[in-house]
Amino acid sequence: TPFLQIRHLEKTYPGKTRGSAGTHAVSNVSLDIAPGEFIGIVGESGSGKSTLAKLIMGLESPSGGQIFLNGQPLTMDAEQQRRRIESIQMIFQDSRSALNPRRKVRSLLTQSMEVHPNLHSAIEARARQLAADVGLAADMLDAYPPQMSGGQRQRVNIGRALCELPQLLVADEIVSGLDVSVQAQILNLLLALRKEHKISLLLISHDLAVVRYLCSRMLVMHRGQVVEQGPTEQVLAHP
Ligand code: ADP
Ligand code: ADP
């Protein structure tokens, strides 16, 4: 059974000047995501992929339609945003995610736990566990982002997102810019996380090989609409 249900989602950005037509960035998108499911989203630049991700993350408010998380509607109010953050986390391309260069990996991994002041030993244990989960050596916990490779930083980005055990990761071009061999390591890490935590993934990628490797199902977006969707092999076999 799906834990995330998207129904007839719409987003129109207002026009630049008063009275000018807005941009219909997402148009009537419906989608179910089940635990452990990896879904790819492809489409040319400007087709609405990032906007769809922002709507799911609550970074933009929908103009229409609804999102349900575990059966309950997700709105933009503060309580629902907290519920959303517990369940859905986003990972960006390394160059866009801009890890704070003055924070050590240990604190970057567990930043979301820092609201609990008296949990130093728990936080340290979590940092070690997360480093192990994403394949970072323990001595990396004392490193700073500028000292690390792109692949290592992307492991930190993934580890940070996993800290509170979300149900869904939304990933926007997370391997572009990395060496192919490092890309393979990151993709295999995601597969291992699915096995271990039954985590789900919504993967925005321009790379069909990446989608094919990870995702059993894919959507093709064009001008804000889902123009094709189905099992990945079936969609890619389409003439
Ligand atoms: P991408 O296609 O990878 O999302 P873009 O360079 O198109 O990258 O967009 C970068 C950022 O600017 C995104 O956050 C996007 O939402 C925003 N953006 C894109 N188009 C516009 C626009 N016409 N007006 C304002 N912001 C925009
Ligand atoms: P993609 O991620 O597929 O490149 P986007 O979701 O970034 O597509 O953009 C979809 C459409 O919405 C594009 O026409 C883009 O210019 C527009 N757009 C994106 N973000 C904004 C924004 N913040 N303000 C106005 N228009 C935007």
ipTM of this model? 0.77
Could you report the per-residue pLDDT of 203-227, keeping only the tens digit for each? 999 999 999 999 999 999 999 999 9
The confidence score (pLDDT) of residue 80 equals 93
Residue nearest to atom 10 of ligand 1 (CA): 50
CA–CA gap between residue 180 and residue 203 (Å, rounded): 17
pLDDT tens digit string along 5-56? 999 999 999 988 877 889 999 999 999 999 999 999 999 999 999 999 999 9
Q: From the alpha carbon of 54, which atom of ligand 1 is closest? A: 16
Q: Is 47 in the pocket of ligand 2 (CB under 6 A)?
A: yes
Structure tokens at 102: 């003055």
The residues that bridge with 23 in the sheet, in sequence order, are 13
49 alpha carbon, closest ligand: 2
Count, residues in the chain: 239
pLDDT exceeds cutoff 90 at 94:
no
3-state secondary structure of 182: helix
> Residue 230: which pLDDT band, with cuts at 50, 70 and 90?
very high
Strand pairing report for 23-33 and 4-13 = antiparallel
- Is residue 6 within 8 Å of residue 65, measured between CB atoms? yes
Report pLDDT digits (tens) over 130-177. Answer: 999 999 999 999 999 999 999 999 999 999 999 989 999 999 999 988
From the CB of 13, is ligand 2 less than 6 Å away? yes
pLDDT of 231 > 90? The answer is yes
Residue 113 scores a pLDDT above 90: no
- Closest residue by Cα to atom 14, ligand 2, is 46
Query: 223: Cβ below 6 Å to ligand 2?
Result: no
Average pLDDT of the chain?
93
> How many A from CA of 10 to the centre of ligand 2?
13
Asked whether residue 95 carries a pLDDT value surpassing 80, the answer given is no
Pocket test for ligand 2, best of 10, 20, 23 (most atoms within 8 A of CB): 23
| Predicted local distance difference test score (pLDDT) of residue 117 | 66
Q: What is the pTM of this model?
A: 0.88
Mutate to test the pocket of ligand 1, among 16, 50, 94, 170 (most ligand atoms within 8 A of CB): 50
Q: Above 80 in pLDDT, residue 118?
A: no
Q: CB-side exposure of 84: number of CA atoms within 13 Å?
A: 20
pLDDT digits (tens, 9 = 90+) for 46-86: 999 999 999 999 999 999 999 999 999 999 999 999 999 99
Instruction: For ligand 2, say whether the CB of 14 is within 6 Å of any of its atoms.
Output: no
Q: What is the pLDDT of residue 239?
A: 66
Atom of ligand 2 nearest to the CA of 14: 25
CB burial readout 174-194, b (16+ within 10 A) else e: bbeebeeebbeebbebbeebb
How close is the Cα of 174 to the center of ligand 2, in Å? Answer: 19
**% the chain with pLDDT above 70:** 97
